[in-house]
Each structure stands twice: as C-alpha cells, then as structure tokens.
A and B are shown apart, each in its own frame.
Chain A
Amino acid sequence: MNLNFATLTDLQKALRNRDVSATELTQHYLTRIDALDPALNSFISIQAETALDGARRADERLARGDARPLTGIPIAQKDIFCLQGQRTTAGSKMLGNFIAPYTATCSEKLADAGAITLGKTNMDEFAMGSSNENSYFGAVHNPWDPKLIPGGSSGGSAAAVAAGLCAASTGTDTGGSIRQPAAMCGLTGLKPTYGRISRWGMIAFASSLDQAGPMTRTAHDAAILLEHMAGHDPRDSTSLNEPVPSFSEGIGKDIRGLRIGVCREFFTEGLDPAVERSIREALAVYESLGATLVDISLPHTPYSVSAYYVIAPAECSANLARLDGIRYGHRCLDPENLQDLYQRSRGEGFGEEVKKRILVGTFALSAGYFDAFYNRAQKIRRLIKEDFVKAFEQVDVIAGPTAPTPAFPLGEKASNPVEMYLQDIFTISASLAGVPAMSIPVEFANGLPVGLQLIGNYLQEGSLLQAAHQFQQETHWHTLTPPEAL
C-alpha cells in the first residue's frame, strides 16, 4: 500500500492488521512534511513531538485491541481550530503568538475518536479569501502546480491532503472555503448543514455562516470524519440538537431514481467552457447510474455574492472587534493613549483584506446604511433559502460546478478583488441558505482538477455522501495524485 495517498479506510485496516504502526505512519507523514512542505507552505506549525506521543499511545491501544475508529490516523487541522496549549493563529499576525487556552469541540471529538494531529494548516487570514494569498504566513502553493493557488480559505488543508502530507484534514467554510480548495486540489470536501458541527473553539469569521467540515480523498473518508466531528454541543448556542447518523454505513446504496437538479443559474457566462464540459460529463455518469436529471432554477443565485459581501463583512466587523491588543493578540509599541493602542494594534495586526472587510461591515451596520445594506442582504438571504426549499420539493440533490475555473496562477487576481470574490459565485448560496454541500473531483480540465458541487437538503449529508460515493465507485478522478516532484 502507498501510505502517501492511502484512504482512511485503508489506513484503519493497515493499523489494525499491524501492517504499519501508528508511530511509523506518523513519522512517515512528518518526514514528507519536512521534505515537501517548504515548496508548498501548507503548514503554519507542526506538532511533531505531540503527534509522536499520540502515536505511541495509539500503538499501545492497538496492541491492547481497544482501538477507537480513528486510532493512529494522522490528520492536519486548519489553524482556525483552537488546540489547548498550541499556537493558533488564524493565519494572522494579530494572533501570531496566541496559545489556545482550550480545545475546539470538533477537534476534541476527533482526538477522542483517536485521530492524531500532525500540525496546523495555513489559511487566508481569518478565513477571508479564495486563494490562500491573504495569509500572514505566506501563500500556499497548489501541489498540482506550485505556480498555482490551492484555493482558499482552507488552502493549506487542501494542499496538505493533496500532496500526501496527512491522511485527511479539517477545514471551515463560510462562503465556499472547504469546497473551492477541495475542487482546485482534487479532493472531496464537505460543508455540512449550518449547526451540524459545533463552532465552539473555532475562531469566528461570520458566525451565521461559518461551518467546519472534512477534507479528504474520498466521500467514504469524508463520511467517517464527519460522523466524528458532528453532534450537539451545549457550548455553541447554534449547534443543532439532532442525531448524527452513521454516514459511512449508508453510502453503499445505489442511487437509482435519485433526482438531481441541474441549476441553470450555475451555467453562466463566467463558467470556463472546459469546466462546464467536465461537469456535463459528470452529470452523464450520474444518468448512467440511474439518476434522473431535472432542470431547475434558483432564481436569486445572481444576488448571492452581493448579499454575502454585506452579511459576512458585517459579522466579521463585530467578531473581530474583540481583537484589541489588550488581553491577547498583537499590541503596537509605545501607544500614546488607549485609542492609539486600539487603532495601531489593529492596523498592524490585520492584513489589508481583513481591514477592508471590517470597514465594509462597519459601513453596512452604521446608522443610515443599515436598512439599505444589512437588512436588505438579510431579506435576499431569505429569498435564496426559499429558492432551495422550493427546489428540494422537486429534487433530492442539486449539482453544478464548485468554482467557475480550475486553479489560477498566484497573483493573477490579487489586484482584482471582485473577480476573486466571484470565485465563490456557485458556493455562496448554499452557505447563505445553510444547506449542506460538497465538492468531488470530476474529469480534469487542462490537466487540473475540477470540482462538481453537490448540494443537499437540510441535514441530508447522508444523501450527498451516498451520491458522491457512488460516483467515485464509477470514476477514477479522486484517485489521481499530483506529480511527486514538486
């Protein structure tokens, strides 16, 4: 078995059969990180000692025969999840030296299931970006071609899995930040229903949109990780108190009769024709598996980017107000007074994109503009949600492209923020509606990965995973790996 690109299922088996020990596996990935990550920059910090300690304990557990589902599986975590005693930066100079005093619920759940954290992955600062060029710790490079972006904001998590530096990773998705990098790096990435996974201990960007999720090689792996990340948490008041099904058990059923909505608003003029061809090919595979394609409309989709770029900045301006250079975070030198301390600490600690979004959000929430911007955006959010509610009366799953283009060169869109924002044009509407959505690799375009987005009804992650898994039983796109020489 090639450990570099093995699936969670393969690794679970290999560990239980003692074909490989947790220590060997952990060391294997740490060695690869040492060798390959200087060219990718996918990690912000590596916890080698903690990981190897965890691996030794995992080996003892395996030897005793009481392994938990993820015992000995090395993963990476986006550097937005607090891990007690570990540096947690959110990709920002502001939190460059922040040591988390507690652990995020979903990270704790993964650790309880036996997963070993190798390190924390690079990301756009406070998850604001679609290319991972907004990190204080430098841009991440795409393992398929290091001249290209890996997508964002969970770009480090995507690059690390795609390059075989870990078995799987965690990401967060506010407007597409799991799905878009998954698409650009050839991975399976799932944003669950809003509230499915606790946000406690996950540094907030836009609280009514943020959702954690798995980034993996296969839908089966995503199902395994999701069932160990999801669940009610009384410490997060938006956490859903709903049972968590065994997602990995249900995905083997065939999808004959599945009604797949093909949303006409997702096939717009901004869509790269090569990406469209790949998506149409994927839809044909679904037809061959017995699914029925239904033409549908989500008429308010064209307004989703506008509404998102009011709601998300408004929430970020409120959330990031806590970073004032007093109790934690960057503080400027020799402040003249308290106001100077606040303004210079924040001015020095935040990058340009974050400051811009804070200003946009402050504007949208300020007296005189609230109704015209924030309130209006929330009304459009309702219309977008109602579009999905109506669509799911007709279909089980909605399909379309995850992103309008494959990965593009680093720096190409850095000076054109609106073009960058439009990268998320197909992912934002599911975020605003709070429905689950995922991206899976389909036929490559010009040698680069392309993602098919599957959107499901509320709490129907199981149907999405089943549809994704059945596609992956018929195709090989998810098994392709980047060239080893980076």
Chain B
Amino acid sequence: MNEKTLVELSTLAALPFEPEKSKATLDALNEVLALVGQMQSLDISDVAPLAHPLERHQTLRADAVTETIDASALSQNAPLYEAGLYFVPKVIE
C-alpha cells in the first residue's frame, strides 16, 4: 500500500488524510496486510465463502411497527438539532 492508496482509502472511509501521520499509518497498515497475506498460501479455489457461521438464513420479521421511540430521546444526541431538523453545513450553493 502506498500514499496514493491511502489518500483514496481515507476518502472512501470518510476519514481525514493526515500527511504528517501518513508514514506511520502506512507502516501500520502494511504490517496488518503482511499478516493477512498469510492467507494467500492456501489453495482455496474449490471452497465456497462462508458468511454466516451457522449457515442459516436471516429471518425477517413482519414489516410492522412494533415499538416507537420518543423523538426527543433521539434528538438529544444530535450535535445540532432544531425544530425537528438535523442541521448540516450548506450542501447546495
């Protein structure tokens, strides 16, 4: 992984790219990638991926309201909330 990849990944992950930390971050990420690279030595061409450990299908509940949460319990956690609206910086000029 190089600095160009790190810039792209930071954008994809919505994290800031910090040039002064980039070497340390790249070293740390490359260390993890070296560890996970051990997977490459196995021949697994005939193996199917496993997403759910018990291989069960996720069960869906009926599409019905089962509980409600008071709006004030949610809005108290919002950094900026007024008149029922979550405020963000202007997105359309």
Whether the Cβ atoms of B88 and A380 lie closer than 8 Å is no
Residue numbers in B under 8 Å from A97 (CB-CB): 77
Whether the Cβ atoms of B54 and A418 lie closer than 8 Å is no
Residue numbers in B under 8 Å from A193 (CB-CB): 54
Q: How far is the CA of A305 from the CA of B15 in the complex (A)?
A: 26
Q: How far is the CA of A338 from the CA of B35 in the complex (A)?
A: 35
Whether the Cβ atoms of A356 and B28 lie closer than 8 Å is yes
Chain A residues 323-338 with CB under 8 Å of chain B are 324-331, 335-338
Assuming the A-B contacts A358-B15, A417-B32, are A306 and B37 also in contact, with contact meaning beta carbons closer than 8 angstroms in the complex?
Answer: yes
Query: What's the least CB distance linking B34 to chain A, in Å?
Result: 8
Contact pick for B29, options A85, A321, A359, A379, CB 8 Å: A359
Query: What's the least CB distance linking A485 to chain B, in Å?
Result: 39
Whether the Cβ atoms of A346 and B14 lie closer than 8 Å is yes
Contact pick for A337, options B31, B40, B78, B89, CB 8 Å: B89
Whether the Cβ atoms of B47 and A383 lie closer than 8 Å is yes
Chain B residues 37-90 with CB under 8 Å of chain A are 37-40, 42, 44, 47-54, 56, 58-61, 66-67, 69-70, 73-74, 76-80, 86, 88-90
Contact pick for A360, options B29, B56, B91, CB 8 Å: B29
A194 sits at the interface (CB 8 A): yes
Residue numbers in A under 8 Å from B12 (CB-CB): 362, 366
With most chain A CB atoms within 10 A of its CB, the pick from B14, B59, B76 is B14
What's the A-B contact tally at a CB cutoff of 8 Å? 181
Query: What's the least CB distance linking A383 to chain B, in Å?
Result: 6
Say whether chain B's binding surface is mostly helix, strand, loop, or mixed.
loop
Whether the Cβ atoms of B16 and A347 lie closer than 8 Å is yes
Say whether chain A's binding surface is mostly helix, strand, loop, or mixed.
helix
Residue numbers in A under 8 Å from B47 (CB-CB): 379-380, 382-383
Residue tally, chain A, CB below 8 Å to B? 78
A81 sits at the interface (CB 8 A): no
Query: What's the least CB distance linking B80 to chain A, in Å?
Result: 7
Residue numbers in B under 8 Å from A340 (CB-CB): 89
Contact pick for A359, options B15, B79, B90, CB 8 Å: B15
Residue numbers in A under 8 Å from B90 (CB-CB): 337
Interface string of A78-103 (1 = CB under 8 A from B): 00000011000000000001110110
Whether the Cβ atoms of B53 and A359 lie closer than 8 Å is no
Q: How far is the CA of A341 from the CA of B80 in the complex (A)?
A: 12
Whether the Cβ atoms of B52 and A208 lie closer than 8 Å is yes
Whether the Cβ atoms of A363 and B42 lie closer than 8 Å is no
B3 sits at the interface (CB 8 A): no
Whether the Cβ atoms of A237 and B60 lie closer than 8 Å is yes
Question: What are 16 A-B pairs with beta-carbon distances under 8 A?
Answer: A101-B74, A195-B56, A209-B53, A234-B59, A238-B56, A238-B58, A240-B56, A307-B36, A327-B78, A346-B13, A358-B13, A373-B36, A379-B47, A379-B49, A385-B53, A435-B53
Q: Which B positions have Cβ atoms within 8 angstroms of A?
A: 1, 5-6, 9-10, 12-16, 18, 25, 28-29, 31-40, 42, 44, 47-54, 56, 58-61, 66-67, 69-70, 73-74, 76-80, 86, 88-91
Q: Top 6 nearest A-B pairs by Cβ distance?
A: A434-B53, A378-B49, A331-B79, A328-B77, A382-B50, A347-B16
